[in-house]
């Protein structure tokens, strides 16, 4: 199985900060990488697919990059509604696997 490792597991940041989350795959997955945002009690929300394609309706402050084994999710300027947990997920091969999550909390 492909292991997805996210770092950090949590971070504290202020509104307006630039935030970067990394995700590393245990083997190459080309650009078969998706990012989701999840808030407690809510349905997860797709942010980015194919490593760098922004899902329709997602604000442009979110961006993704990377290929192979190393990927990043960047929030250019943190908004209050962005405090949540973020997950990467590989869609290269079954079983599909998620990273452990990165929780963004208010500093």
Beta carbon nearer to other proteins, 50 or 106 = 50
Binding mask 61-80 for other proteins (x = CB under 8 A): --------------------
The site for other proteins, by CB under 8 A, has a size of 28
Footprint on residues 11-40 left by other proteins (CB under 8 A): 30-32, 34, 36, 38
In three state form, how does the secondary structure of 8-36 look?
A: CCEEEECCCCCEEEEEEECCCCCCCEEEE
Beta-ladder partners of 46: 36
């Amino acid at each position: 199985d492909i292991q997805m490792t996210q770092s950090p597991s949590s971070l504290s940041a202020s509104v307006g900060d630039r935030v970067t989350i990394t995700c590393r795959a245990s083997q190459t997955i080309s650009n078969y990488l998706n990012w989701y945002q999840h808030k407690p009690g809510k349905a997860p929300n797709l942010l980015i697919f194919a490593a760098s394609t922004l899902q329709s309706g997602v604000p442009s402050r979110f961006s993704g990059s990377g290929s192979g084994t190393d990927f990043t999710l960047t929030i250019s300027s943190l908004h209050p509604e962005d405090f949540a947990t973020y997950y990467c997920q590989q869609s290269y091969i079954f079983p599909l696997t998620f990273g452990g999550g990165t929780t963004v909390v208010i500093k």
